[in-house]
Structure 1
Amino acid sequence: MSQNTHKFSLTTRIFIGMLAGIIIGVLLQLVFDDSGDLRFTIFGSTFSTYSILVEGIFSTLGQIFIASLKMLVVPLVFVSLVCGVSSLTDPSKLGRLGVKSIGLYIFTTAIAISLAIGMGLLVQPGAGVPMTSDASFVAKEAPSLSQVFINMFPTNPINAMAEGKMLQIIIFAVLFGVSMAMCGDAGQRVASFFEDLNSVIMKLVTIIMNLAPYGVFVLMAKLFSTIGPDMLGSLAKYFFLVLFVLILHGLVTYSLLLKGLTGLSPKMMFIKMRDAIQFAFTTSSSSATLPVTMETAQNKLGIGKSVSSFTLPLGSTINMDGTAIMQGVATVFIAQVYGVDLSVSDYMMVVLTATLASVGTAGVPGVGLIMLAMVLQQVNLPIDGIALIIGVDRLLDMTRTAVNITGDCTVACIIAKSEKELDETCYNDIDAGKKEEELNLDTASKNA
């Protein structure tokens, strides 16, 4: 059998896995309490069915899935970026890509936090919220801006890869690719090896993507078996305001930018990005989702490798629009809860700090709270206020990660269009990239 035997598309299977996980998680909360109502004894030891399912099976399989995604990030970014940079015939193009990417990412982040602060002042989510919480938050010391830029350059590129320091990897890959382009025949021989290696890594991405429905299922089951509706409570106004601004920015701001600067259909981009958005929502990590984002950009959106391999890894590190929205609303929320009146200059400081803080911040779950602590310190608000929103931040983290990767692809499309590196036929083809997602094990066994 050489044909794909799956009845449903990958997008549908991932959605089914997500929905089934949510249902199972909710049912587990209804059937068991967190101490495990259903217990059994084996060889004198008592076990809880709830803990075995949630903390055992679901947690273990979910962490394996996340680890599998993260496993791909460093080799994919390094190899694809080396391939893209070494293929550039115009050295000035690399400079243009850098200026355009960083400029657009900072611009969209500034829009995001300005929109969040404006909506926060309008809706007043902190009015009437009791200033109590059982949670706690310890802020880490924020690095200075000069240290952020110093940390972008690796002293040991191998160590940077081992620790997943994305900006350092990008810098080294760019320099390595440029040197390859300048080495003539020797560079061409090395480039052909990297091209083959890139094809192998992209096939590995396809394998992981086809396992995604199961990974998504266990992650959702674990999350919704531990998060109850009581966590919202008095924070409902804050929660739904952040959610509304995230959706507004994701759908309206990006659509206006894409349509206004390229003339492309935003609807087509959103349709093509369904898999990547579901991955981002489930993993809450821009970095972990990066392999899927790059596969989507190249195979479905038609973005050239030289553009996608540079802008998307950069975006997963410095583009934090969703996080900026949370910071904007949370700053207003905490100020209102503690009865602190912030001036216009304070809010301008929040916009500036949050925008600059996104540079060099890792795209991993929970990083938004660390960045929020930096922002609160700048306007002398109590960091203890973060404890008030910890309970609902996990759900919001999922949504803002989906917004972040949508922004990455929007910027990549705009830059690719301006650099004439966008295959519009592929972009407008609703079925583009589906063949590359198929995993034909029969063919693989025949070639073995």
Structure 2
Amino acid sequence: MSTSSTMRYWRQYRSIPIVYRIGAAFVLGSLFGLAVGDPATRLQPLGDLFVRLLSMLIIPIVVFTLVMGARRLSPSSLGKIGGQVVMLYAITSAFAVFIGLAVGNLLNPGTGLELTDAESQEAEAPDIVEVFLGIVPENPIAAMSEGNVLPTIFFAIVFGLALAMLQEELDEGDVRRGVETIFDIMEAGAEAMFKIVWGVMEYGVIGVFALMAAVFGQAGVDAIVPFAMLIFAVALAVTIHIAVIHLGGIIALLVGESPRGFLIGGKEALITALSIRSSSGTLPVTMSNAENNLQIDESVYSFSLPLGATINMDGTAMYQGVVAIFAANIAGVSLTITEQLTVVAIAVLASVGAAGVPGTGLIMLTLVLTQLGLPLEIVGFVAGVDPILDRMRTMTNISGDLAVTTLVAKWNHAVDFTGGTWVGNEAPGAAPTDD
């Protein structure tokens, strides 16, 4: 085969989105494992390499993205509206993890797929006081070198906010230039890490094929049901969170308006999110819906929605809760209440630097599993069905962005409930509003 033909086939292969190639590898690896049986487990080292590559990324991604993310949370931007937005995003993300954990505990996805090689590495779970004290590192460098995720997240956020405060306090001088240089380095580092992530995910096609072949070669057809249960569990958690928190709690209870009017107003953004799996990519549609359909003033949505596309990860946070239970069941262990609260803390804190792009959930998942001492092979297992899960997560993120933006706009008299899709969709018994 000529070099030109090889390059042509390679370009055609690369033109297929990576998530679909990984999905195909998931299916083909599963079928191969079912067909070949136990000999397919010999491919395990190829899957282990994928897991090691993911492990390599964890700490650098945390440091680079969180310090860079803190730049967007500068003191001047966190005025009255900014404080309300960030507070609500953190609260809804925390609720999302709790719902994910509740659904996970109820349905127990992963049961029946217990693998002897996938064992928890945490001998004894610490109590709740130790967990929260452990968030503050005695030695940040040691925490990074040992791969301790929570203290690394804490230090990266604090360091980033300190840099942001210095940048605003100083007009000129070497210190300000130094701060800007550090931020530029962190941004360059984050972009470099995303390039490495791209390379790792390219290899992930082979890694996922090998992992799934080994799983199905060992477990047989019994492995099918746990993955179907995982998809169902995430879908159920998403439905509960949007219905109870976004529509019921925020729109109906706090805003006092019709959830139907809200859904009609944001339907283009929700459908787009479901289609392209990117909060950042959906942002233009989300902003258009906020202004034209939901009648929200630009003074609110121009800040809340771009920030939400970056730090508000309700769907992703919820997914961490469900998959943590899934991973524990596969590893044959039970997560204590303390460990489940650790999942909440990681998901909420890590969302500050999570990029609003496809695949973010897998990167955050490595943080959660590492902190809990659960096998990172789970990331490879989940990657195959992640295109389905990611669509649901992204739609949840966008729903949360719009719900929080609507509430903050109401609090600040920056929304017109007498226009847009609110008209004809008033909440039952709602009184006319002057907002």
Q: TM-score range by the shorter chain?
A: 0.5 to 0.7
Which of the residues 108, 128, 133 maps onto 1:124?
A: 108
Higher RCO (C-alpha under 8 Å, 6+ residues apart): 2
Which of the residues 371, 374, 377 maps onto 2:367?
A: 374
Matches of 2:186 and 2:288 in 1, distance apart?
A: 21
Match of 1:199 in 2: none
1:145–1:282 distance in 2 versus 1, CA, 3 Å: same
1:398–1:371 distance in 2 versus 1, CA, 3 Å: same
Aligned residue pairs total: 296
Q: Do residues 260 (structure 1) and 260 (structure 2) align?
A: no
1:407-418 to 2 correspondence within 5 Å?
Answer: 407-418=400-411
Which of the residues 229, 233, 236 maps onto 1:237?
A: 229
Matches of 2:148 and 2:356 in 1, distance apart?
A: 18
Matches of 1:302 and 1:132 in 2, distance apart?
A: 56
The amino acid across from 1:144 in the alignment is I
1:251–1:387 distance in 2 versus 1, CA, 3 Å: same
Match of 1:275 in 2: 268
Match of 1:300 in 2: 293
1:128-167 to 2 correspondence within 5 Å?
Answer: 128-131=112-115, 143-151=152-160, 153=164, 155-156=179-180
Native 8 Å contact 2:280 2:310 kept in 1 = yes
Matches of 2:300 and 2:116 in 1, distance apart?
A: 48
Structure 1: tracts of 5 or more residues without a match: 1-40, 63-80, 82-90, 134-139, 167-229, 432-448
The amino acid across from 2:257 in the alignment is L
Matches of 1:263 and 1:160 in 2, distance apart?
A: 46
1:209-224 to 2 correspondence within 5 Å?
Answer: none
Matches of 1:370 and 1:141 in 2, distance apart?
A: 15
Q: Do residues 103 (structure 1) and 103 (structure 2) align?
A: no
The amino acid across from 1:372 in the alignment is L
Matches of 2:404 and 2:235 in 1, distance apart?
A: 22
**How far is the alpha carbon of 1:380 from its aligned partner?**
1.9
Native 8 Å contact 2:148 2:371 kept in 1 = no
Match of 1:330 in 2: 323
Native 8 Å contact 1:285 1:365 kept in 2 = yes
**How far is the alpha carbon of 1:55 from its aligned partner?**
5.3
TM-score computed with the length of structure 1 as normaliser: 0.58
1:381–1:264 distance in 2 versus 1, CA, 3 Å: same
Matches of 1:52 and 1:361 in 2, distance apart?
A: 29
SS in 2 for 1:125: coil
Matches of 1:53 and 1:423 in 2, distance apart?
A: 49
The amino acid across from 1:422 in the alignment is V
Moved more, 357-366 or 379-388: 379-388
Matches of 1:163 and 1:270 in 2, distance apart?
A: 38
1:144–1:264 distance in 2 versus 1, CA, 3 Å: same
**How far is the alpha carbon of 1:407 from its aligned partner?**
0.3
The amino acid across from 1:241 in the alignment is A
1:347-362 to 2 correspondence within 5 Å?
Answer: 347-362=340-355
Which of the residues 411, 422, 444 maps onto 2:415?
A: 422
Matches of 2:403 and 2:115 in 1, distance apart?
A: 39
1:417–1:354 distance in 2 versus 1, CA, 3 Å: same
Match of 2:242 in 1: 250
Native 8 Å contact 1:101 1:311 kept in 2 = yes
**How far is the alpha carbon of 1:425 from its aligned partner?**
2.1
1:281–1:162 distance in 2 versus 1, CA, 3 Å: same
1:130–1:94 distance in 2 versus 1, CA, 3 Å: closer
Structure 2: tracts of 5 or more residues without a match: 21-71, 118-146, 168-178, 192-220, 425-435
